[in-house]
Structure 1
Amino acid sequence: MPKAKNVKESLTIMTEMVMPNDTNTLGNLMGGNLMRMMDVAAAIAAQKHSNRIVVTASVDNVSFVNPIPLGNVVTLEAKITRAFNTSMEVVVDVFSENIPAGQKSKTNQAFLTFVAVDQSGRPIEIAEAIPETELELELFEGALRRRQLRLVLAGRMKPEEASELKAIFKI
């Protein structure tokens, strides 16, 4: 098994300005463009952790709470929350900043799951992720519940097998 790594080693920060070609008819960043940016940032974080090629396995709910207008700067911060055998969960936080106005706000957050693969595309074992901060520990502990929920919703796990979800399913 590969040597364990600290969560902070996977931190990936991407920054981009919203240009006219990125926007919808209301002058805001198109949701699909934001989802692409989130996928790229998360994939880089997953690669940093696993030192492997990674493929996107799932994307949890992405809510578009606040629009990101033309000219704003988008900053994405991605990092591993927890690694399992061959898969890992990555959290991506999205911030929008109007630099001239001095306004910055968090606009989105999503959890993505990646699988590390070898050159033939077969899943390969990855290192354990070690949380250090209080927030990293909170995300690490919640990752197993989120993973089990994903597996139940995908039909790959029976609800009664989801030990972390018993309260939700009243089993």
Structure 2
Amino acid sequence: MNEETARPVGKSRSVMTELVFPTDTNHHGTMFGGTLMKAIDKISAISAMRHCNKPVVTASTDSLDFLSPIRMGEAVELEAFVTWTHRSSMEVYVIVRAENLFTGERRITCTAFSTFVAVDEEGKPVRVPPVVPGNDAERKLHDSAPERHQLRLKRRSQRYASTE
């Protein structure tokens, strides 16, 4: 893939903000982890599609780290961007922040890495353009991505199937 097709991280940057309602919470009054995971997958897919301008499918979600609970009535903001690309895959980083809308206090509540694969009309993988980091934080994520990619490949080769 030539350098003319490379795209800056900023092209894929996507932000989604929602208010946390009672139906989004558990008996502790905090956001269900599964509800947050759904939102992470959604914003990650948008980010990946913005990068490659193609349909994508989720290949993996790893290193989903819950750092602090999100409470009912807070705003939850998800920011996603493509950090690295391989042939047909893209690693997407998501940072989740909660905000108390009355005090203005904001905190990081979750981070996650997901991998998406671009596909054609038949669902076959297609090449994606490379991504170019634009600042030190993006460069750090980009430079450390090949190691995460190797760990995903290793994990995939070690899977246990209960039907075998």
TM (normalized to structure 2)?
Answer: 0.92
Task: State the one-letter code of the partner of 1:57.
Answer: A
Q: Percent identity?
A: 43
Shift of 1:145: 0.3
- Which sections of structure 1, spanning at least 5 residues, go unmatched? 157-171
Shift of 1:103: 1.0
Shift of 1:53: 0.4
Take 2:97 and 2:152, find their aligned partners in 1: how far apart are those partners? Answer: 26
Shift of 1:97: 0.4
9-18 or 60-69, larger mean C-alpha shift = 60-69
Take 1:138 and 1:103, find their aligned partners in 2: how far apart are those partners? Answer: 27
Aligned to 1:83: 85
Take 2:100 and 2:118, find their aligned partners in 1: how far apart are those partners? Answer: 36
1:138-166 deviation per Cα after TM superposition (whole angstroms, max 9, x unaligned): 1001110000001001108xxxxxxxxxx
Q: 1:36 aligns with which of 31, 35, 38?
A: 38
CA contact (8 A) 2:12 2:51 kept: yes
Aligned to 2:62: 60
Take 1:135 and 1:61, find their aligned partners in 2: how far apart are those partners? Answer: 18
Take 2:71 and 2:46, find their aligned partners in 1: how far apart are those partners? Answer: 25
CA contact (8 A) 2:67 2:108 kept: no
80-89 or 147-156, larger mean C-alpha shift = 147-156
CA contact (8 A) 2:66 2:111 kept: no
Task: State the one-letter code of the partner of 2:150.
Answer: Q
Task: List structure 1 runs of 4+ shifted beyond 3 angstroms.
Answer: none
Take 1:17 and 1:140, find their aligned partners in 2: how far apart are those partners? Answer: 31
Take 2:136 and 2:105, find their aligned partners in 1: how far apart are those partners? Answer: 27
SS at match of 1:111: strand
- Which sections of structure 2, spanning at least 5 residues, go unmatched? 159-164
Take 2:104 and 2:7, find their aligned partners in 1: how far apart are those partners? Answer: 36
Aligned to 2:51: 49
Take 2:120 and 2:84, find their aligned partners in 1: how far apart are those partners? Answer: 20
1:16-47 deviation per Cα after TM superposition (whole angstroms, max 9, x unaligned): 00001111111110000000000000000000
Aligned to 1:98: 100
TM (normalized to structure 1)?
Answer: 0.89
1:56-111 deviation per Cα after TM superposition (whole angstroms, max 9, x unaligned): 00001222221100000000000000111000000000000001022110011000
CA root-mean-square deviation: 1.1
SS at match of 1:25: coil
Aligned to 1:169: none
Task: State the one-letter code of the partner of 1:63.
Answer: D
